[in-house]
Structure 1
Amino acid sequence: MQYRKGQIVGYVSVLDEFATVPVTPERWHLLRVTPGRDARVMRAFEERGISGWSLTVTSVVNRRTGLDARRPHLGRKIVRPFLPGLIFLPDFELRRIDQIRAIDDVDNLLQLGTLRCWLKPEEMQLMRDIAICEGLPPSQRKQVRLAINQRIAIVDGLFAGFRALIERIDSNGRLTVYVEDGRRGVKVSGLTETQIELIV
């Protein structure tokens, strides 16, 4: 039979089960998969029409040294999972959990006893923001500018909980600070940015 342009040859029903899926899930559950097989499981999800999200971080490294590339267009792009072995599954996919468990490398939903093992939409947005921030090159991340005579709080190490004053910053970014304790104080060398917080 010959069809002509513009002729109606059939209809497609729009009242199937996928039209009723909510756009924003109320909860995101954590699905355990074999670490390192996250991308393979996500491809299987795509083939079967299953919604899910694997947090990935993209970085560009120097081909020779393996360190962060200063010129991203000349480096090698590496995509790695931010939370290896965990995939976020929206609540409306729980009705297909048996089909999901049948996929190779899928374990089960994460359960931590009485603790809550799911995220609300606003918590999920925070996870997305963290993944975006982690994927930015170091030059585009907002970095804390430390300066001499700046007041800080030490949050890690032997002097955690004390307040101090920055006295010196060496070429490697290590700090020498003056820790105040009432009437006396002591100089501490070798602190890193991860061990301190700025006092605003």
Structure 2
Amino acid sequence: MTCILPAGERAFLVDLDSEADVLTFTEALTRSTPVGVEDFLPAARTVLVTCSPTADLTYVRQCLNYLEQSKSAAIADAHSETDLLTISVRYDGPDLDDVAQSLGMTRSEVVAAHTGAMWRCAFIGFAPGFAYLTSGDTRLDVPRRTQSRTAVPAGSVALAAGYSAVYPRASPGGWQIIGSTDAVMWDLNATPPATVQPGRRVRFVDENQR
């Protein structure tokens, strides 16, 4: 059951039942942002909604409750083609063989599954511009590495716990790296700086097949 809880003096934490509900609610909130809402931040199962100092919190809460109750899966899927981001990948990652072996697949089958899925950003976390991408294909659900790397290069394309992601900058990390890309995921001179925002669709393509 969904709960809308106060979070501090001028924010609400919307606790939803599933990741799919978070995506749908975030899309509805993006399309119909209530007056007084200053920002909202989705996570795996929650959405933090921050209000302006002058916001009518009772009104905002009523709006959030209405959006949650009236959200529709059709809304979440109503993205235009301009919303689709295509990322070219070199499938040369150091963990690709291990991923294939753990899944009982060949390297080519892992690449085909990764490029064949339609991914969508569920939320941003870990580092600025680090988008947690989810799809309906459960074949690529692999655990994190047993030991994290102290440095993962920017542009590394990785898998972990049912998500895929592109490391926006060099950082430590424990995800399984299956490839690399030249796509820029975080640019302070861009508006917004994060290339992928919650709800945006992403398609990966094999650079060698283009």
TM-score interval, normalised by the smaller of the two chains:
under 0.3
- TM-score between both structures, scaled by the size of structure 2: 0.22
Which structure has the higher relative contact order (CA within 8 Å, separation 6+)?
A: 2
Larger Rg: 1
